[in-house]
Structure 1
Amino acid sequence: MTVDFTLPPALEAHEPPEARGRTRDGVRLLVGRRATGEIAHHGFRDLPALLDPGDLLVVNTSATLPAAVRLDRISVHFSTPVPGADDRLWLVELRRLAGKASRPYAGGSPGEWIPMPGGATLTLVGRHSGRLWQARLSTDVVPYLRRHGVPIRYGYVRRDWPASAYQTAFAHDRSTGSAEMPSAARPFTPELVTRLVARGVLITPITLHTGVASPEAHEPPYAERYEVPEATAALVEHVRSRGRRVIAVGTTAVRALETSVDASGHVRASSGWTEHIVTPESGVRAVDGLLTGLHEPKSSHLMMLTAIAGHDLLVATYEAALAEGYLWHEFGDANLIVSG
């Protein structure tokens, strides 16, 4: 069963909460408990009181790249390196600029080269899918983006914001980075992290570098680079053995952890590229909850949420979010789903 709904434009977060007179952790938090079906309304600052000592939050340390390079008529969105290739061959999406927004650009042909700012050249090698190209930049991509790129912005965000608005409190891995912000962790502040630690809540890192989303087609994610460190895998196993909860901060953390579950059901250290997609049929084996944002209708992320929350609770949660005016997207409100 699918979860479908109509998202009113008024419930799209058009700017960071700081621009709305709030702090990062001043967003709302909608909590759903699968065991009881209970739905409750909180502020994000209430999070320490909603977790138990010994619970574990798994956070993504990937930093957000300025992954969009704008030209006169189109914008190039750099997604991920091509698996197994060198650092200059990436998957990219071409988007036609239309005022402050952009739309998918259907043009381009293999062998075509595109002049880029700073004297660089992007050569289209071949189509990877209907939306993405394999393309080679004439210089190393990540340093180039840090000089000439801006954060990816879709039409519901009405103006550009600095790169700092797209970094989370946990971002530190700047060797590559994510095309789009791992936004579930955006509301965390150093003060809130201190309160969580004082409460006895554990925090441990994974890294997953996200590719570009598909706001028009709602395609599932492509292969993404990830790492679950040895210490994180061991801590997840320890927490589970003590009967405490493992709560992923963001769908990226779920994807990394579930990729690292071995045949016996244990989380092991691993790294590389993951194509794992969590569905209600596959279920989850490593996590007991998910802290995330509110996702668009028909988004592939809703399959993962259904696997964790169950269909009935997820439908009720989104009905409550719509009824109470929660805000969607990367600068919006938050949703905590827990098993108990």
Structure 2
Amino acid sequence: MNTLATSFHIPDSLHAEVPPEHRGLRRDDVRLMVLQKGEKNASHNRFDEIDKFLEAGDVLVVNNSRTIPPVLKGSQGKQNVEIRLSRKISTHQWEALLLGTFIQTNVPIQLSEGLEATISGLGSEPPLVTLSFSEGGSTLLDYIYRYGEPVRYEYIHHPWPLETYQTVYGAIPGSVEMPSAGRAFTWGLLSKLKAKGVRIASIQLHAGLSYYEKNRWPNPNNHPEAFAVPEETAKLINTAKQNGKRVIAVGTTVVRALESTVHEQGEVKASSGITKLYIDQHHRVTSVDGLLTGFHEPEASHLHMLRAFMPEKKLIKAYKEALNKGYLWHEFGDMNLILSERKGK
């Protein structure tokens, strides 16, 4: 049993429903809790002070996947149907979550401009299905951008625009949920890190749905996502490790992508494809030395990964401390940096 799922409770007041820039702050004005191996207690900082914990030659790896608006509204007969896209399968097929009272498999879902979507098979796991659209390629992507809306879970009460769900460096469209660990970065802070000698590298992992409504969560052992690790990023990481520098993943998506490419000698290699890798305390992470992430719900599989970086007892203690200090949860909330000891100590 995952004891994390019952170890803490997030009060409603700590669900961040408003982006910091709509609270009179900059993106990088959020808070940062730092956990370092070898140190008993967490330290509490502002996110724009993250440069204090990084050195020249360290590599920060970001996910430059850009968020698309994956929620489409349609109808089947007299019934309204909400489509939540999760993963692109081909030019005209997507895995998706359908929300409606009774949805028929053999009747097309009607959308605006004559577009149709038909259930053509099962998804990678229930309750996902495979949808085939009557248009594909750039025509379908254009439709999604014109008519789609961002995924908005129950703790978000305002329909924030799509730009609110982007990182500043997001470039490759494909994620249906923002790779939110990088949201707090601003161009100014990234420039500050580069001036210090911190190298910035990128991968892509197109994030799928992380929640299926009605208290249903993805099966972490069967949650396929498309990824790509470029040759330049692999070389930067391997060189940093050879030079005794640290590699810090910005988000669990980055860890998942990089760990999917590590070969027997522990080096990262350029690769692309679909990963189903599940990382928990039984997985020995070798591609990175630290993780920057948000604060996760107790049921979320993202939290399982943190146990690969930090003993569960210390992690639970830190999360309870974060709750007591009023840290904010979710994509508009505060941040957590987990680091190994500085190399050479």
The TM-score normalised by the length of structure 2 is 0.91
What SS does structure 2 have at the residue aligned with 1:292? strand
Instruction: Rate the CA distance shift 1:2–1:142 in 2: closer, same or farther, 3 A.
Output: farther
Shift of 1:53: 1.5
1:110-144 CA-to-partner distances (Å, cap 9, x unmatched) read: 22311112210110112323220111111123222
Q: Name the residue aligned to 1:242.
A: 243
Alpha-carbon separation, structure 1, partners of 2:275 and 2:84: 21
- Give 2:257's aligned residue: 256
Instruction: For residue 168 of structure 1, give the secondary structure of its aligned residue in structure 2.
Output: coil
1:1-340 mapped onto 2 (5 Å cutoff):
2-4=3-5, 5-71=8-74, 73-82=80-89, 86-96=90-100, 107-128=102-123, 129-140=125-136, 141-174=140-173, 177-214=174-211, 216-221=215-220, 222-340=223-341
> C-alpha distance in 1, partners of 2:161/2:48?
24
User: What SS does the corresponding residue of 1:38 show, helix, strand or coil?
Assistant: coil
Tell me the distance in 2 between the aligned counterparts of 1:95 and 1:22: 35
State the AA in 2 paired with 1:219: P
Distance in structure 1 (CA, Å) of the matches to 2:307 and 2:143: 39
> Deviation string for 1:175-206 (max 9, x for gaps)?
xx101000111000010011101111111000
Matched residue type, 2:176: A
Unaligned runs of 5+ in 1: 97-104
Deviation at 1:236, TM superposition (A): 0.5
Q: Is the 8 A contact 1:207 1:228 kept in 2?
A: yes
Please tell me whether the aligned partners of residues 74 and 109 of structure 2 are also in contact (alpha carbons under 8 angstroms). no
Match of 1:102 in 2: none
SS in 2 for 1:309: coil
CA contact (8 A) 2:32 2:45 kept: yes
* Contact kept in structure 2, 1:58 and 1:206, CA below 8 Å: yes
How far does residue 25 in structure 1 lie from its aligned partner after superposition?
A: 0.6
1:283 Cα shift? Answer: 2.3
Taking only the aligned residue pairs, the percentage that are identical comes to 41
Query: Which residue identity lines up with residue 237 of structure 1 in the other structure?
Result: N
* Rounded Cα–Cα distance in structure 1 between residues aligned with 2:334 and 2:35: 14
Which structure 2 residue ranges, 5 or more long, are not aligned? none
The count of corresponding residues between Structure 1 and Structure 2 is 326
Deviations 1:207-266 (A, max 9, x none): 101111116223235111111001100110011111111100001100000001012211
**SS at structure 1 position matched to 2:129:** strand
Task: Report which stretch shifted further, 108-117 or 17-26.
Answer: 108-117
Contact 1:90–1:136 (8 Å) recurs in 2: yes
CA RMSD of aligned residues (A): 1.4
Opposite residue 92 of structure 1, the aligned amino acid is A
CA positional deviation for 1:334:
0.6
Distance 1:87 1:299 in 2: 30
Runs of at least 4 residues of structure 1 off by over 6 A? none
SS at 2:232 equivalent: helix
Tell me if the contact between 1:246 and 1:288 (Cα under 8 Å) persists in the aligned partners: yes
Partner AA of 2:170 in structure 1: A
Please give the alpha-carbon distance, in whole angstroms, between the structure 2 residues aligned to 1:70 and 1:51.
Answer: 45
Q: Secondary structure at the match of 2:235?
A: helix
Q: Decide whether the 8 Å contact of 2:37 with 2:340 is kept in 1.
A: yes
Q: Give the C-alpha shift of residue 34 in structure 1.
A: 2.0
Secondary structure of 2:218's counterpart equals coil
- Is the 1:309–1:338 Cα contact (8 Å) retained in structure 2? no
